[in-house]
Amino acid sequence: MWPSIIGHSRQIAELKRAVEFARVPNAYIFSGPRGIGKRRVADAFTAALFCAEARSRGMAPCGECASCRKLAGGNHPDRFTIEPEESERGAVQSIKIDPLRELQASLQFKPLEAPAKVAVIDGADRMMDAAANSLLKILEEPPERTHFILITPFPQRLLPTIRSRCRHIAFSPIPDAELAAEIARQREIPEREAVRIARLAGGSMGTAMALDPELVEGVLGRFIALTKKASSADIFETAQAWKDLDPGKILLVFDLLASFYRDLLRVQAVGGESELIHPEAAAMALSCPAEHALRCLSEIDATRLAAETSANKQLMFEQLLFTLSRQ
């Protein structure tokens, strides 16, 4: 609920006030980058609206009553959720008109248990035209005691006529320091590692929690050691360790290496050591010529592309590491 959400205090304060003064608009847009907690805020807001105890607890839902438990279990009859579905070919995700029609039918009736109904449309920019028009019709004559929350990273892709009927709340990435403190606490890792994860995640708690700190530190440790002193045996051994990683983790290896060289070039160009993802890049910037760093970056990009098809990942990583370890 609210206390478990990191950041977004201004947005949460506005939502709590709306509940407190019973002035909740018919529809909200929650916009902002993926993974920063918009859906969690929508869930906590719904709970605050539904929970009979919330009013006596500073608009904080109790988490224990039947309403709170049903919401947490995903089976509250007055909360509706619509999300994009995969197409038959599995690639494009969109929201078709059917779920909107079903929603419209359900909204004809009064709330069953809660004082209001809440319909969350997560990924609202993925509504097909027919679905968007159907939503617009609902919003033009909003059913009583019903609130919509449209969640999207791209609010500009919504119909202007939908946007104009919504109260827009914009969410920003969580500041590094705040995110790092939370990661250090939850993951039980040193602050130095947590700051790296927070910056890699670009202010997204969701992305940060999906990163494996041990893998991140392991990859960077090996890489930095190789740039200092690399024998062919070291290169062979590192390539062997990386080639067996899952495809997603192999992509992370490329991201880490590329972000390291970008940091290095940034220090050489403009300084700003305090904002680096990888503080170690500052030391290497003193000895690594910019030309070499640029060559490494393009080699990392080329290898990333090759990795999708390469049959021999061992050789692929060996070649890359050979280039990176030469200065």
For tokens 């160009």, the residue is 269
Residue 32 or 61 with smaller CB distance to Zn ion: 61
**Distance separating alpha carbons of residues 180 and 120, to the nearest angstrom:** 29
Question: Which among 32-40, 58-66, 122-130, 276-284 is the span making contact with Zn ion, rule CB under 5 A?
Answer: 58-66
Report if residue 51 touches Zn ion, rule: CB under 5 A.
yes
Report if residue 114 touches Zn ion, rule: CB under 5 A.
no
Do residues 224 and 52 touch, judged by C-beta distance below 8 A? no
Residue 44 or 211 with smaller CB distance to Zn ion: 44
Report if residue 62 touches Zn ion, rule: CB under 5 A.
yes
Report if residue 60 touches Zn ion, rule: CB under 5 A.
no
Report if residue 220 touches Zn ion, rule: CB under 5 A.
no
Residue 7 or 61 with smaller CB distance to Zn ion: 61
- CB of residue 119 to Zn ion, shortest distance in Å: 20
Report if residue 72 touches Zn ion, rule: CB under 5 A.
no
Question: Which among 59-67, 174-182, 205-213, 262-270 is the span making contact with Zn ion, rule CB under 5 A?
Answer: 59-67
Which one among 5, 40, 65, 97 touches Zn ion, defined by CB under 5 A?
Answer: 65
**Distance separating alpha carbons of residues 220 and 242, to the nearest angstrom:** 12
In the bound state, the residue with its beta carbon closest to Zn ion is 51
Question: Per CB under 5 A, which of residues 136..195 are in contact with Zn ion?
Answer: none
Residue 117 or 266 with smaller CB distance to Zn ion: 117
Report if residue 68 touches Zn ion, rule: CB under 5 A.
yes
- CB of residue 53 to Zn ion, shortest distance in Å: 5
Give, in degrees to the nearest 5, the angle at Cα 124 between 122 and 127.
Answer: 125
**Distance separating alpha carbons of residues 111 and 15, to the nearest angstrom:** 21
Question: Which among 52-60, 132-140, 290-298, 308-316 is the span making contact with Zn ion, rule CB under 5 A?
Answer: 52-60
Residue 46 or 303 with smaller CB distance to Zn ion: 46
> Which residues here bind Zn ion, judged by CB under 5 A?
51, 53, 61-62, 65, 68
